[in-house]
Amino acid sequence: MKHLMKHLLALMLCSAATCAVAADISIKITKRYLNLPVSQKEKRSVMSYTINGKEEQRFVIRLSANPEYWVFSDMSAYKGKTVKISFEGDATALSKIYQDDQINGQDSLYKEKKRPQYHFSTRRGWINDPNGMVFYEGEYHLYYQHNPFEREWENMSWGHAVSKDLVHWEELPVALHPDKIGTMFSGSAVIDYDNTSGFGKPGKPAMVVFYTADNPDRQVQCVAYSLDKGRTFTKYNGGKPVIDSKEKWNSKDTRDPRVFWYKPSKHWVMVLNERDGHSIYTSANLKDWTFESHITGFWECPDLFELPVDGDQNNKKWVMYGASNTYMIGSFDGKVFKPEGGKYYFSSGSIYAAQTFNNIPESDGRRIQIGWGRVPQAGMPFNNMMLLPTELTLRKTKDGLRLYSLPVKEVEQLCTPVKKWSGLSSAEANDKMKEFYDADKLRIKTTIKLSHATEAGFNLFAQRMVGYDMNFNMLNGMFYSPQDPTSMELTADIYIDRSSIEVFIDGGAYSYSMERKPDRNNREGFHFWGNNIEVKNLEVFTVKSIWE
Ligand code: FRU
């Protein structure tokens, strides 16, 4: 507290029922973090940070003198400067704000009861869509929709984390803060190697990001660039939009620009969700965009990428993709996408708004996706998570071409095989699984074989990790039929973390994810069920935490 230079400028705003005090304090920044006390019980009020008369940040916060938990602002960019913190709400709690080189709660960080142990989640606050996924100079960048100040959605900013191996993540300061044009909605990132934008410097290509600025009136597309490997950004043209298409579509819903380089014609492509589908725009310089075409049938968070069929580089197809993991397969000439079949899905459950990495080296060649895991972590100072990074492949199936997804090979380094059995009855398998009763994280691979049973599955404390109904062909609520329609077997690769469960079926033909929700009254733990089923194969792996 002694680091604070406080100037309380209290302004009393009293009515009969309430007495709110708007005020400001000034703090000379000598430490990395400002720690801010919050409670979900308080209402949201506006706070701002002003430095040398210029407003740097403005957001709403449930500041509280009786904090339920603490959030923080990383102030490293402002070291040595005096920040005026103004608050329009009840200012009683202002004096509790303090700076420190640690966040409040650092000691228990990543050890919290529901903290995902091998999935990315943010230290504090809310996250949703992955944004700006790009590989550059040995780092995978994961930006994400983020409310740094509360465990619920608000104040959309771009949070930022980097990884060298797609598995261990380091959280960095917030990369894009809301501005006068709007809050920072979803978008993407490219590396402008040829300096088409002019943002780069000799030997220093710019990382260029595209985001939607959202305000009550409209959603517009804006550009920012970084010359320091994605750490800090300059908003192009002061954050003014490069695309404003509300009038054209007579709709506010124009958002989530997904940009990539289209090699054959040497131009940039932007896929943008506009009202009822995905539009294609092209550009030579990342600033001036021309509308080319539109395909209906998608909502939010577009993606568009090319994949070899069964790995054949001479036979490639394009995949157009929407927020709910539905996709179409077809052709793309740089301006128009033409579907060649229907609309399909390959993943369901808590996954949403997934995006794939740009700029993966050709020598690697993988199409790597990360999806938002809509997994609530009740009572935690953080909320929601990213699902495991997966590799997407396009394969010939009996139904035609289909997307498959499996966790990237880098995830293997976390898994240690500890037990393996075959040919068990469900009773025997349940007995073997007893020693893992208490596991807070685990990977289990299993193949079950039905014979007398039309319904079978595998539970964890009464929660159906696998629930297969061969009569209705339903697997955990969605239609599923194995590649061999006469097959009586189902293979599941199950990744259990503290607050989530992800299941990959039959080598990635289908996957789903869910919040981990044990029934506290259930004593069964791991439990295979189904009349006379055979647990043909059962493998158990321990999984290391990525935070150790
Ligand atoms: C999808 C989405 C995007 C939008 C963002 C806002 O989850 O609605 O369309 O850009 O979230 O946080």
For 5-19, 322-336, 356-370, 401-415, which range has the lowest pLDDT when averaged over its residues? 5-19
pLDDT tens for each residue of 421-462: 999 999 999 999 999 999 999 999 999 999 898 999 999 999
Q: Is the pLDDT of residue 11 over 70?
A: no
User: Is there a contact between 224 and 176 (Cβ–Cβ < 8 Å)?
Assistant: yes
How many whole angstroms from 334 Cα to the centroid of ligand 1?
25
Q: How buried is residue 19: exposed, middle or buried, by Cβ count under 10 Å (0-12/13-18/19+)?
A: exposed
Provide the pLDDT for residue 453. 84
Residue in the block written with tokens 């469900």:
426
Q: Active-site residue 228, yes or no?
A: no
pLDDT above 70 covers a percentage of the chain that reads 96
Average pLDDT rounded to a whole number, residues 108-123: 98
Candidate from 256, 272, 303 with most ligand 1 atoms within 8 A of CB, to mutate: 256
Q: Is the pLDDT of residue 10 over 50?
A: no
pLDDT tens for each residue of 357-377: 999 999 999 999 999 999 999
How many whole angstroms from 269 Cα to the centroid of ligand 1?
20
Determine the Cα–Cα distance for residues 399 and 21; give it in Å rounded to an integer. Answer: 65
Average pLDDT rounded to a whole number, residues 252-263: 98
Reference 347, options 374, 383, 377; nearest CA is 374
Provide the pLDDT for residue 518. 95
Reference 261, options 251, 271, 253; nearest CA is 271
SS (H, E, C) 171-195: EEEEEECCCCCCEEEEEEEEEECCC
Quote the distance between the C-alpha of residue 347 and its chain's center.
Answer: 15
Candidate from 186, 254, 321, 387 with most ligand 1 atoms within 8 A of CB, to mutate: 186
pLDDT tens for each residue of 304-323: 999 999 999 999 999 999 99
Band of pLDDT at residue 236, cut at 50, 70 and 90: very high
How many whole angstroms from 131 Cα to the centroid of ligand 1?
10
Average pLDDT, the chain: 95
Provide the pLDDT for residue 12. 41
Determine the Cα–Cα distance for residues 408 and 406; give it in Å rounded to an integer. Answer: 6
Residue nearest to atom 6 of ligand 1 (CA): 185
Residues having CB within 6 Å of any atom of ligand 1: 128-129, 145, 156, 185-186, 212, 255-256, 300-301, 323, 352-353
Q: Which atom, in ligand 1's list, is nearest to the CA of 129?
A: 7
For 20-34, 58-72, 502-516, which range has the lowest pLDDT when averaged over its residues? 20-34
Residue nearest to atom 9 of ligand 1 (CA): 300
* Pairing label, strands 19-28, 183-192: unpaired
Average pLDDT rounded to a whole number, residues 115-142: 98
Provide the pLDDT for residue 16. 34
How many whole angstroms from 129 Cα to the centroid of ligand 1?
7
Helix (H, G, I), strand (E, B) or coil at 299: coil
Q: Is the pLDDT of residue 6 over 70?
A: no
Determine the Cα–Cα distance for residues 198 and 132; give it in Å rounded to an integer. Answer: 20
Average pLDDT rounded to a whole number, residues 181-191: 98
Residue in the block written with tokens 């964890």:
460
Band of pLDDT at residue 13, cut at 50, 70 and 90: very low
Q: How many helices (H) and strands (E) does the chain have?
A: 2, 42
Catalytic residue, chosen from 90, 129, 192, 214, is 129
Determine the Cα–Cα distance for residues 418 and 544; give it in Å rounded to an integer. Answer: 13
Q: Name the H helices within 341-465.
A: 426-432
Provide the pLDDT for residue 20. 54
Average pLDDT rounded to a whole number, residues 98-118: 98
Average pLDDT rounded to a whole number, residues 10-30: 66
Q: Is the pLDDT of residue 5 over 90?
A: no
Count of C-beta atoms within a 10 Å radius of residue 527 = 20
Write the CA distances from 336 to 252, 271, 318, 498, integer angstroms. Answer: 24, 11, 11, 44
Q: Is the pLDDT of residue 18 over 70?
A: no
Q: Which atom, in ligand 1's list, is nearest to the CA of 187?
A: 10
Q: Name the token pair of 315.
A: 């036979």
Q: Which residues contact 447 (CB under 8 A, 6 or more apart)?
A: 489, 490, 491, 492, 535, 536, 537
Band of pLDDT at residue 32, cut at 50, 70 and 90: very high
Q: Is the pLDDT of residue 277 over 70?
A: yes
Q: Is the pLDDT of residue 1 over 80?
A: no
Q: Is the pLDDT of residue 19 over 70?
A: no
Average pLDDT rounded to a whole number, residues 222-246: 98
Candidate from 301, 303, 372 with most ligand 1 atoms within 8 A of CB, to mutate: 301
Q: Which residues contact 203 (CB under 8 A, 6 or more apart)?
A: none
Residue nearest to atom 8 of ligand 1 (CA): 300
Provide the pLDDT for residue 196. 98
Q: Which residues contact 218 (CB under 8 A, 6 or more apart)?
A: 244, 246, 252, 254
Q: Which domains does the chain have, with CATH numbers?
A: 20-106 (no CATH), 126-407 (2.115.10.20), 411-543 (2.60.120.560)
How many whole angstroms from 465 Cα to the centroid of ligand 1?
28
pLDDT tens for each residue of 399-412: 999 999 999 999 99
